[in-house]
Amino acid sequence: MSNSLQTADRVLQILGAFDGNAREMSITRIADRLGVHKSTASRLATTLVQRGFLERQQRTLRLGPEVNRLGLLALASTDLAALSAEAMQWLSAETGESVHLAVLEGGEALNVAQADGPAIVGIGNWVGRKTKLHCAANGKVLLAFSGQPVRGPLTAFTARTITSVKLLRAELQKVREQGWASNAGELEEGLNAVAVPVFDASGGCRAALSVSGPAYRVSPDRFSFLAGSCEQAARLIGFRLGHGKPSLKGEKAG
């Protein structure tokens, strides 16, 4: 390998060494990971700092703003609905219910994709519709994992809607702990749902994936099962966004 190719390869190795378990690294740790002398690691890191790909944090280095810029460009060019279609169809067939994908927009949950279940009695087309975050399963997921603050007043849509900021914060803590959210008639009477987060390459919550249906089918005793199925599909979508590993049988990387 020529010197220029070797240098480029080492630079890419440095950037690739950062992950969820190593968000900051010292020059010594970088050198150990690459198997090179500290002086070589320092020289390469200095170039990356100058170019904005790394930034110094006292005695350590972390990914810089240029990496964030390129990451955002990559995410913006990704058709989330198209990447999610296969997993959503699988989830709909697995649960027999309608499946929705929602993203955070303007302080609300915007439904961007839907896969209809086989049942005659469905919930209609929600693509393009927005819902308040505090009263929908997907909205609670987006609130819980986005870091967006909870503020009142909270509008009541049914007698079951959470209208207390204190109670909602407690609910969101529960969502973070168990990894999924539910809605039992809080948005519309007789409409229940379960939702989970979809994580992208940055580890952030890119969207919420939910299963919705009439309360007599999507009953509270099925919430845990439905959440498990949602999590499988969400992991597949997340994998295609650069996060984690595939989850559905037969799905391969590449």
Q: How far apart are CA 175 and CA 221, in angstroms?
A: 17
User: Where residue 20 falls among pLDDT bands split at 50, 70, 90?
Assistant: low
Averaged pLDDT for residues 139-162 = 93
Which one, of 138, 136, 225, lies nearest residue 183 by Cα? 136
Write out the two tokens for 145.
Answer: 């994992």
Task: Indicate the CATH number of 78-240 among 3.40.50.150, 3.40.50.10420, 3.40.50.970, 3.30.450.40.
Answer: 3.30.450.40
User: Burial of 123 by CB count in 10 Å (0-12 exposed, 13-18 middle, 19+ buried)?
Assistant: buried
- Classify domain 3-72 by CATH number: 1.10.10.10
pLDDT digits (tens, 9 = 90+) for 65-82: 888 777 665 655 458 888
Q: What is the pLDDT of residue 230?
A: 97
Average pLDDT value for the chain: 87
| pLDDT tens sequence across 205-225 | 999 999 999 999 999 999 999
Residue with tokens 């990447």: 83
* Owner of token pair 């915007």: 110
101 bridge partner residues: 113, 209
DSSP reduced 3-state for 105: strand
Contact between 161 and 117 under an 8 Å Cβ cutoff? The reply is: no
pLDDT tens by residue, 155-181: 999 999 999 999 999 999 999 999 999
Contact of 200 with 238, CB cutoff 8 Å: yes
DSSP calls for 46-57: HHHHHTTSEEEE
Instruction: Give the pLDDT band (50/70/90) at residue 6.
Output: confident
Which pLDDT band holds residue 253 (cuts at 50, 70, 90)? very low
- pLDDT at position 254 over 60: no
Predicted TM-score of the model (pTM) = 0.67
Question: Residue type at 147?
Answer: G
CATH topology agreement for domains 3-72 and 78-240? no
Q: What angle do CA 151, 101, 158 make, to 5 degrees?
A: 50
Tell me, rounded to whole angstroms, the distance of Cα 14 from its chain centroid: 25
Domain ranges, ordered by start, for the chain: 3-72, 78-240
